[in-house]
Structure 1
């Protein structure tokens, strides 16, 4: 017993460790839906191939970690073999609540996406219902019963995104409280796992895994970083911000060489998004500080990306848009020229020189 407890504890720790390697899931992440079908036959008491019972089912589930999941499955059975006929197309319906354990991820670890081939254990309990309206069924207590399912899934994950999965599933289904003296093999005869009150089943299925909030159809490995690495990244971000803050000043130094000295009393600038020439709210707010009646010269610039022809055109449109806005505020625009890229550190600017 002690060895069993230790083994069980080690298993739980292994599952937990696997769960900690992936990003946290949101409520509707890692949900899948699938269909399956195949044949079942009574485990004992007759030749398997003479009593095949076709079935078709639907499964909806969710994976909570790369190892653990849960699903609801419902299968309809169409043949009466080897039992008495119920006189209905669907003889029996079994609905199960299942737990799933991905053995491949448990013992091999999760690699960031599903393996091409995986093996999982599926097990749970369910409720079975026998169709038909005969009073004889009711007298026999043969309408509903408690069931259990134990299966292995041999799954193949398909596609670049591993969103689709096909699987083959051998299983054994138990009628936990079947009566042994009814022609319908259902009823209440005490709850127990009895191979004489079971049938074996071989199904094949296909599953589609819906897209998650992380942009994939599966779990994503979490990028775990220690504090020293975080501090280093923050330092790099701070350095980049400082360099970016210097760039507008460098651009002004490049452009100022081409402007007459009397026009450089009060230079200012506004910035633009890459490839854009529209004035932002912040840009308009800055331009509003130029007094009505002031005289300005405007030079538009562009960043090094793109061809010289495109940069020249974009910089001119930027200068024109600034000029148009200032004119609407009563500012006198002496000149508005697009210069394209100015120097090697040019940002996306319009530099305004106020006389």
Structure 2
């Protein structure tokens, strides 16, 4: 009668475990990879040429158009044309004059947001720094030539045109609208020849620009790998196995049979970090080892053969086994109860590469 009851109890426990253990579909997140691309900037705003007159009297319209190529997540280059109008003046007597200019530019750009916060194509605010050189062609200086210069002698007054080399630097940002468009805001400073505004100052002439416009990506700036799925081994609580009772004539002696436990801990591609969805398996091993103090656990690490080299995969499988062992030790399991091994990609215990990124743990 006792044996029949125990057999019935074992069948009920097996049925409950089978109903609990369901397939879990685990997703490995896709990766975002930078892609080199061309871009264009169209800008308009205001310029200020540093001089003796009041700040507001020396403000003039400005515009720019640039075409660039971002060849790395952090670095890019661009060429462009900027210009429109510049102003000069003096205060005794107060007089101002305007002239026109066109400047060709070549800049090296540094993406500050990616430099400090890593590449993210969906970031809203993206700041950049740039520096470069320009060739400035100033013309239409008729107003300066028509002024009464008896009270103020302009030693560098020019008539038809004036060419000069410019050094430039600035700071800007893009406010993302979508994958192709962003609102562009930029401020830049240009150091020009002392003759640019027709006045002798003994140092370079400075012109500052504040510009607003659009940044347009002319190609896809990133690619995204497809997510990978694999069927993970279900995590189910390991039931306490029913004890088999062997009846002896007299006295009756009970012999307990302890079944070994096996847990497969899976890892992400090229990673030895234990993922959150695998922690329940570690906890099950700890519970088993604490319930049976004489039991020991053997941990063997593996790596899939389809990625990496044999040398890299051996190190990776060893790191995976070490991390599982450290997780058990951190929960109170003695190191003398743990055996660690690594197979690299020499053995592929499962049918798919995703499953072969694993540690097989057998406790008994």
* TM-score (normalizing by structure 1): 0.46
Q: Which protein has greater RCO, CA pairs closer than 8 Å, 6+ apart? A: 2
Structure with greater helix percent: 1
